[in-house]
Structure 1
Amino acid sequence: LVGAGIGIGIVFSSLISGVSRNPSVRGQLFQYAILGFALSEATGLFCYSAS
């Protein structure tokens, strides 16, 4: 579960970095960030349920 937490942190830190560089694509980057969050969280939950 620690790896999933680190992955989620990386996803949202990249979102903040991307929005600060180009604010006009905020909506598209946010959609990608939510997708990355969901995939990272799903991986963590699958590993948790398998153990």
Structure 2
Amino acid sequence: MYNWDLQNAIVAFVDSLRPMSQYFRELYYGALYDFADHTSELLTMLGYPPVP
């Protein structure tokens, strides 16, 4: 019923990413905040009021 080889491969992959988890977290949040900032600037240029 279970594919243990696949499950073990996924666990090994996730374990290999753990030492860099803080880097990936900072990269994700940086991209998210940049997207929100640029979208806010675009909407403000189009005439929508800024959101406080």
Q: Which protein shows a greater Rg? A: 2
More contact order relative to length (CA 8 Å, sep ≥ 6): 1
